[in-house]
Amino acid sequence: MLEKVINDSILEKMTLKNVFKIFNDNVFPMLSDEERKYCEKLEEFCLDLHPKIDKSKDVYLLFPELGKNGYMQRINKWKDFTPYGMKKEVLLASIMSCCDPQLELARVASGILCGNPTFRHGETEEIIKVQDELMSGRAVGCIGITEPERGSDAVNLETTCTKVDDGIIFNGEKVYTTNGGVADYFACYGVYSVSNPRGTMVQAMIKRDMGVETKRLKINSVPRVEISHTYLNNVKVPFEYILGDNGKGYNNLFDGLVPERLGIMGSGLGICWGALAYGIIYCNLRKQFGQPIIKYQGVGFSLADLLSKTSAATSLALQAATIYDDKI
């Protein structure tokens, strides 16, 4: 059992419910009545989920809970879960990050980074089945772009593809694959020609049992999320699992980056709101020299500055999401 140094009278106030109160006081004025109701329902779900979170275990046990409520993603319409859209996804990501940032990281990788291509480019029965498994939380997904020698240079991939009669063979390595160690599906990219990646890039949904091998990387900041080194050694992918061939994979890659990055904004904002809210609660209750430390300029002014910056960033994210929903 971990030793504690914070007074129990303070700890009992540092609750997720109080975090949501601070979040709502600052964010709800930016929202419509429908959006507020959506957030309130989501917060109720998180408050019910929170006691079930075991910080000693990986987050994936919680995926079915998200799936049953349609919370693996909300950019796209899946089944009868409404409302949906980019703004709803940003709010989902923000609130989920307040609840459990590591669960949120894994959710985004599975529901958005791996799941979004199934909505935008999935046409076969096989891909629709993948979509249902990912959205329900029964399966785990990930994305394979980053390679040992290719980080921000996501175009000039070293993973190669070879077309054969019954599919496409992938050879290469991916790294920092979030969820990779336990993933059932890998949304991966490779090229037929390393000298012409834009014209030959392939996007595929690769099943683990097609021959994918992974080794878990130890990332201390997210111990409950499986982040892996992924090996594609002569992995043959049937054509039914190809989402973009002969250069279309390049278009799909950048087509997906826009909604995926917009959604991830919400994850970052939620981490900011959670940390800020807990800090505000603590600084209002912790006393030194006979008064709460928030009354000292070095503390109060710093928190006020962080609050204004986080509020401004939230306003920007919601406006960007609104533009996406209206125009795309």
DSSP type of residue 150: B
Do the strands 141-144 and 185-191 form a parallel or antiparallel pair, or are they unpaired?
Answer: parallel
Q: What is the pLDDT of residue 161?
A: 99
Write a three-state SS string for 177-225: EECCCCCCEEEEEEECCCCCHHHHEEEEEEEHHHCCEEEEECCCCCCCC
Write a three-state SS string for 75-138: CCCCCCCCCCCHHHHHHHHHHHHHHCHHHHHHHHHHHHHHCHHHHHHCCCHHHHHHHHHHHHCC
Q: What is the pLDDT of residue 300?
A: 97
Instruction: Using alpha carbons, select from 121, 119, 75 the residue that is nearest to residue 264.
Output: 75
Distance of CA 324 to the CA centre of its chain: 18
Q: What is the pLDDT of residue 170?
A: 99
Contact 303, 293 (CB under 8 A): no
**Per-residue pLDDT in tens (0 to 9) along the chain, 328 residues:** 678 899 999 999 999 999 999 999 999 999 999 999 999 999 999 999 999 999 999 999 999 999 999 999 999 999 999 999 999 999 999 999 999 999 999 999 999 999 999 999 999 999 999 999 999 999 999 999 999 999 999 999 999 999 999 999 999 999 999 999 999 999 999 999 999 999 999 999 999 999 999 999 999 999 999 999 999 999 999 999 999 999 999 999 999 999 999 999 999 999 999 999 999 999 999 999 999 999 999 999 999 999 999 999 999 999 999 999 999 8
Query: What domains appear along the chain, each with residue ranges and CATH number?
Result: 8-117+255-327 (no CATH), 141-252 (2.40.110.10)
Residue type, 256: G
Instruction: Using alpha carbons, select from 80, 109, 74 the residue that is nearest to residue 95.
Output: 74
d(CA 7, CA 285): 10
**pTM for the complete prediction?**
0.96
d(CA 262, CA 251): 18
Q: What is the pLDDT of residue 28?
A: 99
Contact 143, 111 (CB under 8 A): no
Cβ burial, residue 248 (10 Å; 0-12/13-18/19+): middle
Q: What is the pLDDT of residue 328?
A: 84
Please state whether the peptide bond connecting residue 101 to the residue before it is cis, i.e. omega within 30 degrees of 0. no
DSSP type of residue 147: B
